Each structure stands twice: as C-alpha cells, then as structure tokens.
Amino acid sequence: MNIHKEGMLTLAIVFAAVIVINFVISAVSHKPLIEIITVLITVPFFLLIVWFFRNPSRPVIPDENVILCPADGKVVVIEKTFEKEYFNDERWQISIFMSPLNVHVNRFPVNGQVTYCMYHPGKYLVAWHPKSSELNERSTVVIKHTKGQEILVRQIAGAVARRIVPYAKKGMQIQQGDELGFIKFGSRVDIFLPLDAEIKVSLNQKVKGNVDLIAIWK
C-alpha cells in the first residue's frame, strides 16, 4: 500500500504514541487483560490512520473530451448554481462528500492551466451543510482547459477536517489526474462546470477520483 506524503509525520507521531501508551500501561498495570484491551484499541486506531493516508496508484490516459472525478466519495449535490467567487454566472455544481474512510487525495479533472487560486479561512460546518461551500475553510482553483473553457474545483474543510493542503499555483500547466491537493480527515470537493457539459454521475453515486467520469465536454 502506498502512503501519501502528507501522512508521514502524522503516522510517525501516532505510532510513537501507540508504543508509549502500551509501554506505560504494561509497566504500571501488571494486568494482562488491561494490556490486551489497550493493544486492541491502539493498534486498530493506528491502522485506521494508515488506511486514511493511503494513496492508490491510478494512472490516467489523458482524454480531452472528458472531465474526471476529482475525488473519492459520494455525490451529494447536482444542481445549477450561481457561482459568485469567480465566474459570476450560473454553472453546474457537483459536490462529492469524502468520509474519513475515503481516499483523500484530490486530483485535477482535466488538462490545462491554473488561472486562479485562492485560499479562504472559515468555519468548520459539517461538509454536507448547504452553506459549507461558502462559509467553511476552503481553497478554490480554476483550470482553463486546453479547449478554452474553464472549470472551478473547490476543496472544503468539514467538521472533522482541519487542514486543506492545496498544490495548485497560478500559471501551472497541469495534467489530468495529477494531484491537486489533500484534505485531512473528512471533507468535500465541489466542481463547477459549464451548463452545456453533459453530466455523467447521479445523486448518491459513489465515485472514485481518476476513475469515474463526472461529465463530458460538449
């Protein structure tokens, strides 16, 4: 299993904490049952953190005609929305909720150039809250596709997620499937598409980044 670079420090700290906790309990309790219970709690917890930071290999053959899912999770919103941060017009909004058990690597859905990046500090409402897209801590990236149209991808922190790690920088030339960023411990990704895009996902569908199509260009 590949572990994402964002998890290395966290895993080292958690591993050290697990070792210390088990050593202390063993040294002071002298009760095998308590020691076993401690192991049964701390080891699965560490393995859960390892699972969270997994980074499966998902190579992509770039396709100029499709828009790939930028994240793993469940589609919780498909609607026409007035996007007011950058476009100031109506767009398709598709939102993908990532539970703590999903892969949390976010990926560029198309080839192109980054034309806009903006980080916004904010609240930590639950990620499926209707206002989380506007009020929560978030990072917005706009990509100009090689065909000329632009799409917007927004990473949104949730009630548990407390750190967004964006990799995009204005002016970057990016490839479909490359890493856009990482959000730690449960979150949401919104993508805003032109109204003439043909949506290929459905509400409550479980999707995988770099695997499922989110839309097709017209």
Please provide the DSSP assignment of the chain as one string: --B-GGGHHHHHHHHHHHHHHHHHHHHHH--HHHHHHHHHHHHHHHHHHHHHTB---------TTEEE-SSSEEEEEEEEEEETTTT-EEEEEEEEEE-TTS--EEE-SSSEEEEEEEEE--B---TTSTTHHHHB-EEEEEEEETTS-EEEEEEEE-SS--EEEE---TT-EE-TTSEEEEEESSEEEEEEE-TTSEE---TT-EE-TTTSEEEE--
Do 80 and 128 lie in one domain? The reply is yes
132 as an active site residue: the answer is no
Report pLDDT for 132: 56
Do 126 and 23 lie in one domain? The reply is no
Do 99 and 170 lie in one domain? The reply is yes
Say if 60 falls within a structural domain: no
**Cβ distance 123 to 136 under 8 Å?**
yes
Do 18 and 107 lie in one domain? The reply is no
- Give the number of domains in the chain: 2
Do 158 and 101 lie in one domain? The reply is yes
Say if 198 falls within a structural domain: yes
Say if 18 falls within a structural domain: yes
Do 146 and 103 lie in one domain? The reply is yes
Do 190 and 96 lie in one domain? The reply is yes
Do 112 and 147 lie in one domain? The reply is yes
Say if 109 falls within a structural domain: yes
Report pLDDT for 206: 96
69-100 pLDDT tens trace? 999 999 999 999 999 999 999 999 999 998 88
Looking at 95, 133, 139, 187, which residue is catalytic? 187
Say if 61 falls within a structural domain: no
- Positive or negative, the Cα torsion across 52, 201, 69, 134? negative
Can you give the CATH number for the domain in which 165 is found? 2.70.70
Do 80 and 118 lie in one domain? The reply is yes
Task: Please list the ranges in the chain whose pLDDT falls under 50.
Answer: none
Do 169 and 71 lie in one domain? The reply is yes
Say if 59 falls within a structural domain: no
Say if 44 falls within a structural domain: yes
Report pLDDT for 216: 94
Q: Which domain holds residue 31?
A: 5-52
Say if 142 falls within a structural domain: yes
Do 16 and 82 lie in one domain? The reply is no
Report pLDDT for 124: 59
Do 31 and 80 lie in one domain? The reply is no
| CA–CA separation, 197 and 187 (whole Å) | 25
* Structure tokens that stand for 139 in this block: 């990072």
